[in-house]
Chains A and B, each alone.
Chain A
């Protein structure tokens, strides 16, 4: 037994600890960078998809305004129209896909010599379901008994 000095094997223990720390920090760093890249790619895809849909919507709007009457289909996109009896305007609406779960919804009132944009917004089209598993506060009119057991401060 080596008394008063560094024993055989202690260096190996330090090595294992150092390598473990190094590996963990390296993996955390790589994981963060990969997540950032995925997030950035998703943002780029969303923005690119939005402006692609926006460009298509601009073309469709131009075609609708150039036509004598609102066509049923423009550039492969279905256009629905209803007549507003109060203003004598044709209300045309159509949607351009942005991604699988989002689309650009456009609604325009077409008058005889002008037009008015009523809606030009991105909206969700994907399926969604209500998750009521968390006991959140339902609002002023709701019953909070059972959700909280503290006391109100004066």
Chain B
């Protein structure tokens, strides 16, 4: 085999290797991106579920008073009168101006005075889709 034909073969192999690697890398990059998005979504849902559970227990502790429940959720001394609680990227309570997520209480009322009070608790990305929602009930103060 001459030196020239060996070089041609080597260059052809290099070209084939680059093409095959590029195709494999593209496929793997797409799968990795999907995995990242899936993991990110799971992480968001998991964190949202935790704050939703906390909110549900605060709602029950407040006997169905959504404003008081949101104050319980924000922490001691908070009395903004707002039924929404805002969270930053790390799921720490923050102001609405820097929030990434918002938890809202939507009171659904009660059938009768003796019936439990229903409330829909939902967590949304600010200006985005709803991540999770939960309907909870609380025993009113009259029961």
Contact = CB atoms under 8 A, between A and B. Distances in A.
A66 interface: yes
Contact of B20 (A19, A39, A65): A19
Nearest to B29: A26
A26 B32 contact: yes
Given A47-B49, A59-B116, A8 B13 contact: yes
B1 to A, nearest CB: 10
A59 B115 CA distance: 6
A32 B39 contact: yes
Chain A facing B: main interface SS: helix
Interface in B114-143: 114-116, 118, 132, 134-139, 143
B114 A66 contact: yes
A58 B118 CA distance: 10
B136 to A, nearest CB: 5
B114 A65 contact: yes
Interface in A19-46: 19, 22-23, 25-26, 29-30, 32-34, 36-37, 39-40, 43-44
